[in-house]
Structure 1
Amino acid sequence: MASGFFALLDDIAALVKASAASLDDVPAQVAKTTGKVSGIVIDDTAVTPKYVVGLDPSRELAIIYRIAKKSLINKMLLLSPAALLLGYFAPWAITPILMLGGAYLCFEGYEKVHALFSPHPHAAESANLPTITPEELEEQRVAGAVRTDIILSAEIMAIAYSQVTGQPILNQIAVMLAVAVFITVAVYGFVGLIVKADDIGMHLAQDKYHPGTQKLGHGIVRFMPHFLSLLSYVGTAAMLWVGAEIIAHGIPFTAHLLHELEQALAHLPAVAWLAKALACALGGLLIGFVVEKLVLLGKKAIGKGKQAPSA
C-alpha cells in the first residue's frame, strides 16, 4: 500500500515537473505571437486615438480606460474561449469568421477614404443635423472603438491560437491570456501617451523649467496636431491593409500571390513589406467598395420590403 502511495506521488511530481517545463515556453511563445501580430497592433494603435480626439480633454484617459477594459474583457472572456472551442470543435470556421471581420475593416477604411474625397455638407445642411450631448457623443465614440477593436482583437487571438495548436491545453490558455493582457496594456498605454502628449508638452513649456526643456515642450505642442492628423491617415491605411491581408490569407490563390510578391522582393525586405502593404491597401479599397454597394443594396431591399403593402 505504502509503495503504491509513493508511486502515485512520483507520478504527480513527474506531471508537475512536465507542466512546469512546458510553461517555461510560454514567454517565448508570447514573444513569437507578438511579432506575428505587429501589423494588427499598429492598426489598433493608429485607429484608436481618433475616437478620443475632439472630446473633453479631462475625459480622454477615462475614455481610453473604458475602451481598454472592454477590449481586455472581450479578449479574455469571449475571444480566447471562442478560439479554443472553435479550434477544437470547428477549426474550419475560424478562417471564414476572420475574413468577415476583414471585410468589415475594409468597409470602414473605404468609408473613411470616401469621406475624404466627398464634398462636405453645406452649412445649412449641417445645421439640420441632430445635436447630441457630450455624454452621448462619448458613448458613440466608445461603441465605435469597441466594434473596431473586437475585430482586430479576434485576429490577434486567432493568431495566438495558431501558435499554440498541438500544445497542452494549459499552455494554450496561458499563452492566449498573456497575449491578451500584454497587447491590451501596450496598445492602450501607448494610445494614452499619444493623446496626452500635448498636455505633457504644455507642462514642460512652463517658465519654471530650463529653457531647453521649455523649447522641447513647445515643440511637442506644435508637433502633436500634425502627428494626430498623420496617425488618422495611417489608421485608415492600416484598416485597409490589415483587412485585405486577412481576406487574402483565407484564399489560397491570393495567399500564394502575396507570398510570390514577398519572394520576388526578398532581397529588399523594406521594399517587399511596402509592396505587400500597398497591394493589400489597394485590394482593401476594392473590397470596401464592393461591400458598401452590397450594404446599400441590402438597405434598399429592406426599405422596399417595408414599403410594400401587406396582402
Structure 2
Amino acid sequence: MAGSSLLTLLDDIATLLDDISVMGKVAAKKTAGVLGDDLSLNAQQVTGVKANRELPVVWGVAKGSFLNKLILVPLALLISAFAPWLITPLLMIGGAYLCYEGVEKVLHSLQHDKQEKSPEARQQRLDKLAQQDPRAFEKDKVKGAVRTDFILSAEIVAITLGIVSDAPLLNQVLILAGIAILVTIGVYGIVAAIVKIDDLGDWLTKKSSSVAQAIGGFLLGFAPWLMKILTVVGTLAMFLVGGGIIVHGLTPLHHLIETLTGDMSGLVASLLSNGANLVLGFIVGSIVLLVVNLIAKLRGKSV
C-alpha cells in the first residue's frame, strides 16, 4: 500500500515537472523579444560610469531587478486571481511611462549634440560633471535602470502569466519564479560581459601572441561602437515595447494592424507591426511629456 502511494506520488511529480517544462519553454519563447529589448536597454544604462564601477552598477541594477520580480510575481498572481481586468490597464500605464522615458532620452541626446558643437557649452558640461558626486551619479543610473526594468519585468511576468493562467496554482508559481530568475541572471550576466569587453581587449593587447593582440585591438575599437549602438537600440526599444503594450491594450487598433498585415509575408508584416508600435510609442511618449511639463509649469516647477 505504501509502495503504491509512493509510486503514485512520483508519477504526479513527474507529470507536474513535465507540464512545467513544456509551459516554461513556451513562456521563454514568448518573452524572447522582450528579453532582447531588456538587454539593450540595460546595457546602455551604464554609459558614463567609470570602468572600475561598471560591474558594481550592473550588480546594483540586477539586485533591483530581483526585487522587482519578487514584488511583481505575487502581485501578478493576486491580480490574476481577484482582479484580472486590472492587468491590461496597469501594463498600458507602464508602457506609456516607457515611451515617455524614450522621448526624454531623444530630447536629451539632441540637446547634448547641440551643446557639443559649442565650446563654451561643452566646457560648462565638463565642469558640471567634474563637480558631480560619483556616488550620486551611480545611484541615479541604478534608479533609472531599475525603474525601466520594472516595466519590462512586468511585461515578462504578464506574458508568462497569460500562458500559465489555466494551470494549477503551484505550476503558475514555479514557472513564474523560474522564468523571473533565469531572465534576471541571463540578462545581467550578458550585460556584465558586454560592459567589460574593453577590459578584455586591453588584457589581450598585453599578451605576447600577435593573434591575441589583434583580437584585443579589435575589441578595443569595437567596444565604444557597441555601446553607441546599444544606446540607440535601447531608446528604440522603449518605443517598441511601450508602443507594443499600448497597441495590445487597444483591442480595435491591435486587430486593425493584424488585419492590414495579415496577407503580407512574415518579415514585411513584422516590420510594419513594429513600425506602428514605434510611431505610436513616440506619439504617446510626446503626449505624456507635454502633460508632465504642463503640470510642472502649473505647479511652478521646471522639469
Common fold, TM-score beyond 0.5? yes
CA gap of 1:273–1:201, structure 2 versus 1, over 3 A, is: same
Deviation of 1:174 after TM superposition, in Å, equals 0.6
**Distance (Å, rounded) in 1 between the aligned partners of 2:47 and 2:110:** 21
CA gap of 1:71–1:257, structure 2 versus 1, over 3 A, is: same
SS at match of 1:303: coil
For residue 232 of structure 1, what is the aligned residue in structure 2? Answer: 231
Q: Does 1:194 align with 2:194?
A: yes
Residue of 38, 44, 55 corresponding to 1:50: 44
Residue of 41, 46, 49 corresponding to 2:35: 41
Residue of 267, 271, 275 corresponding to 1:270: 267
Deviation of 1:188 after TM superposition, in Å, equals 0.6
**293-302 vs 220-229, which deviates more?**
293-302
Residue identity matched to 2:74: P
CA gap of 1:87–1:10, structure 2 versus 1, over 3 A, is: farther
Residue identity matched to 1:286: I
For residue 176 of structure 2, what is the aligned residue in structure 1? Answer: 176
**239-248 vs 29-38, which deviates more?**
29-38
For residue 288 of structure 1, what is the aligned residue in structure 2? Answer: 285
Deviation of 1:194 after TM superposition, in Å, equals 0.6
For residue 135 of structure 2, what is the aligned residue in structure 1? Answer: 135
For residue 31 of structure 1, what is the aligned residue in structure 2? Answer: 25
Structure 2 unaligned segments of length 5 or more: list them: none
For residue 74 of structure 2, what is the aligned residue in structure 1? Answer: 81
**Distance (Å, rounded) in 1 between the aligned partners of 2:208 and 2:21:** 44
SS at match of 2:167: coil
CA gap of 1:248–1:128, structure 2 versus 1, over 3 A, is: same
**Distance (Å, rounded) in 2 between the aligned partners of 1:65 and 1:169:** 31
Q: Does 1:241 align with 2:240?
A: yes
Residue identity matched to 1:299: A
Number of residue equivalences: 294
Residue identity matched to 1:222: G
SS at match of 1:227: helix
Deviation of 1:251 after TM superposition, in Å, equals 0.8
**Distance (Å, rounded) in 2 between the aligned partners of 1:69 and 1:297:** 35
SS at match of 1:27: helix
Structure 1 unaligned segments of length 5 or more: list them: 1-5, 305-311
CA offsets 1:5-41 (integer angstroms, 9 cap, x no match): x59x966864663343022222222221122122221
CA offsets 1:222-258 (integer angstroms, 9 cap, x no match): 0111111011000100110110000110111111123
For residue 257 of structure 1, what is the aligned residue in structure 2? Answer: 256
**Distance (Å, rounded) in 2 between the aligned partners of 1:208 and 1:282:** 51
Matched-pair contact (CA < 8 Å) for 1:198–1:224: yes
RMSD: 2.2
**Distance (Å, rounded) in 2 between the aligned partners of 1:258 and 1:53:** 36
CA offsets 1:34-89 (integer angstroms, 9 cap, x no match): 221222211111111222122121121121111112211221x2100001000000
TM-score (norm. length: structure 1): 0.88
Quote the sequence identity (%): 38
CA gap of 1:128–1:216, structure 2 versus 1, over 3 A, is: closer
More helix as a share of residues: 2
For residue 102 of structure 1, what is the aligned residue in structure 2? Answer: 95
SS at match of 1:208: coil
Show the 5 A alignment for 1:211-226.
211-226=210-225
**Distance (Å, rounded) in 2 between the aligned partners of 1:128 and 1:221:** 27
